[in-house]
């Protein structure tokens, strides 16, 4: 019986969260199974450690091998991941990572290379980087690319630094001080612009969930360096006025930066170059397998228009009659004018291999289907839930479906409560309270890799929870999760008195 609740109904799925209690390994009872050296054995013996020899207790738990193995296995079982079930986080693209990609990334020729070894010994890796660059440039229609950025925000930094370098070359860096950013953008967009010294002007969202082009037009003047727009945007919608936005910003000499974190929704379907984009980062760890929740690391190559290509940073791969080379110094860049080096080395090789394996596995026609299936799955969820949950915008949506909290308001239940109840049903909650432009937002991204059966079970579970909301059983939400080892946390206490370091209880 759970405290505070007289009876607990069976969950819809039959799941009961994680039932095993697992203390810290330092708090486990000692079984005497560890390895200790009897004092009699050491009696009279000397060591070569001298004054470095430890005199006090080392403080490690005295556990047997099975105890240790079971401890870490149980911890691993608490780590909900894409291999455990659907991961509906919106704007995060947690999708299946084919094991083939992992196998390719672990081939000796890729996994064992060192960033400091001579490039003449890694021609195969350089060839793969060149091939990946070719695919990404073809898919986006952009002539330039920088592979070295480590993830999306790093890619934004790369893109805006390249734009800054282009403005510097035109003698306009000091006069173009503003960057326009849609208020539905990822939070890293305005942060990146501010980090580089630009003044950020937020552009509001229209009632239909897209950037207000009239408000944008009112802000465009020759003090603007660039506009930053996410497409598809964080409301899960395609920005229909991209070409108009691009034309307006180009007319006054500015640049169009597109946040390409959601490129998986239009890969093989839309070329950003046709929309007038000048720079766009691609999250290989989201769009091309390897979900970043699955261990990472990230990788955020940036593609560039012809206008910005001369300024992209080193290093980059070139090919001549003698094979592949890595251009690492500005003075070796020929007619290009790189703004410098953005990262210590050359990029995330493992991610390059995984992405290339994923791209080649799908092929050109398969990539198109990836986008179509991702959009189809999201619209299937939205269509089957919009009679019991409320949507802030009319569909169709792109690769993620967004709901608001209007269907909860009459029952005094918050979005957070609904998300916590999902844990009892064995689901990792969707992204909540983002984007900020939607009240109590719930952003669901199913990805293209979920089956019809998986989507149906998720949808039926959401419908079941929505029916409980309407029954007025508020406690099932405000006290959730009740089946998890840890119940509802005190968010205020955790924020004001965080315990960030373990200390042994005396």
The model's pLDDT over 116-151, given as tens digits with 9 standing for 90+, comes to: 999 889 999 999 999 999 999 999 999 999 999 998
d(CA 68, CA 28): 10
List all residues 6 or more positions away from 210 whose beta carbon is below 8 Å from its beta carbon: 233, 235, 237, 239, 240, 241
| Res 27: pLDDT | 81
Q: Which tokens is 129 given?
A: 């980087």
| Residue whose entry in the numeric block shows the structure tokens 């037009």 | 217
Which residues make beta-bridge pairs with 314? 341
| Whole-structure pTM value | 0.88
Handedness of CA 471, 474, 479, 480 (dihedral sign): positive
Three-class secondary structure assignment of 236-265: CCCCCCHHHHHHHHHHCCCEEEEEECCHHH
| Res 3: pLDDT | 46
3-state secondary structure of 221: coil
| Res 227: pLDDT | 98
The gap between the terminal CA atoms of the chain, to the nearest Å, is 33
| Res 57: pLDDT | 75
Element (H, E) at 146: strand 144-146
d(CA 402, CA 236): 7
3-state secondary structure of 162: helix
d(CA 146, CA 420): 41
Q: Where are the beta strands (DSSP E) in 183-234?
A: 199-203, 224-230
- Closest by CA position to 466, among listed 400, 401, 402, 422: 422
d(CA 260, CA 232): 8
Q: What is the pLDDT of residues 271-322, one digit of tens each?
A: 999 999 999 999 998 888 766 644 568 899 999 999 999 999 999 999 988 8
| Res 20: pLDDT | 64
| Res 186: pLDDT | 86
| Residue whose entry in the numeric block shows the structure tokens 């091998």 | 65
Looking from the CA of 17 toward its CB, the CA atoms found within 13 Å total 18
Pairing of strands 323-327, 279-282: unpaired
CA angle 154, 435, 278 (to 5 degrees): 40
- Closest by CA position to 447, among listed 391, 358, 375, 356: 375
Per run of 10 residues, the mean pLDDT along the chain (length 506 residues) is: 52 63 77 66 78 79 86 85 88 86 93 91 96 97 96 95 97 97 90 97 94 96 97 94 97 97 94 97 88 69 97 94 91 92 90 95 93 97 97 94 96 97 94 94 95 96 97 93 84 91 74
């Amino acid at each position: 019986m759970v405290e505070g609740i007289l009876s607990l109904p069976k969950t819809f799925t039959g799941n009961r969260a994680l039932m095993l209690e697992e203390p810290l390994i330092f708090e486990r009872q000692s079984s005497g199974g560890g390895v200790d050296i009897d004092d009699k054995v050491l009696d009279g013996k000397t060591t070569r450690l001298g004054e470095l020899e430890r005199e006090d207790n080392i403080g490690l738990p005295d556990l047997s091998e099975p105890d240790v193995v079971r401890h870490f296995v149980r911890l691993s079982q608490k780590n909900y991941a894409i291999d455990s079930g659907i991961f509906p986080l919106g704007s995060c693209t947690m999708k299946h990572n084919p094991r083939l990609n992992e196998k390719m990334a672990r081939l000796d020729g890729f996994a064992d290379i060192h960033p400091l070894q001579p490039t003449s010994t890694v021609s195969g890796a350089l060839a793969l980087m060149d091939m990946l660059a070719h695919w990404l440039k073809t898919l986006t229609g952009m002539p330039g690319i920088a592979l070295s950025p480590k993830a999306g925000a790093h890619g934004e930094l790369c893109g805006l630094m390249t734009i800054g370098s282009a403005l510097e070359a035109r003698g306009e860096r000091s006069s173009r001080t503003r960057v326009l950013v849609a208020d539905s953008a990822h939070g890293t967009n305005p942060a990146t612009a501010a980090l580089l010294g630009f003044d950020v002007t937020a552009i509001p969202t229209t009632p239909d969930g897209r950037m207000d082009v009239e408000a944008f037009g009112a802000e465009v003047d020759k003090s603007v360096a660039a506009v930053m727009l996410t497409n598809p945007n964080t409301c899960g919608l395609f920005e229909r006025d991209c070409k108009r936005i691009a034309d307006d910003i180009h007319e006054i000499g500015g640049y169009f930066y597109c946040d390409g974190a959601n490129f998986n929704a239009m890969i093989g379907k839309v070329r950003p170059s046709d929309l007038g984009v000048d720079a766009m980062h691609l999250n290989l760890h989201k769009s091309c397998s390897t979900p970043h929740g699955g261990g990472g690391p990230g990788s955020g190559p940036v593609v560039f228009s012809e206008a910005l290509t001369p300024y992209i940073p080193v290093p980059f791969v070139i090919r001549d009659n003698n094979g592949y080379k890595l251009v690492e110094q500005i003075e070796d860049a020929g007619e290009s004018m790189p703004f410098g080096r953005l990262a210590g080395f050359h990029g995330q090789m493992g991610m390059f291999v995984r992405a290339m394996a994923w791209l080649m596995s799908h092929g050109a026609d398969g990539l198109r289907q990836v986008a179509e299936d991702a959009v189809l799955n999201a619209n299937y969820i939205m269509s089957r839930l919009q009679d019991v949950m409320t949507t802030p915008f009319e569909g169709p949506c792109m690769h993620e479906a967004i709901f608001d909290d209007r269907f909860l308001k009459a029952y005094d239940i918050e979005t957070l409560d609904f998300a916590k109840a999902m844990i009892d049903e064995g689901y990792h909650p969707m992204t909540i309270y983002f984007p900020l432009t939607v009240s109590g937002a719930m952003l669901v991204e199913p990805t293209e890799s979920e089956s019809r059966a998986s989507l149906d079970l998720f949808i039926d579970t959401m419908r079941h929870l929505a029916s409980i909301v309407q029954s007025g059983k508020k406690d099932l939400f405000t006290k959730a999760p009740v089946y998890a080892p840890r119940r509802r946390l005190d968010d205020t206490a955790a924020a004001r008195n965080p315990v960030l370091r373990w200390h042994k209880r005396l």
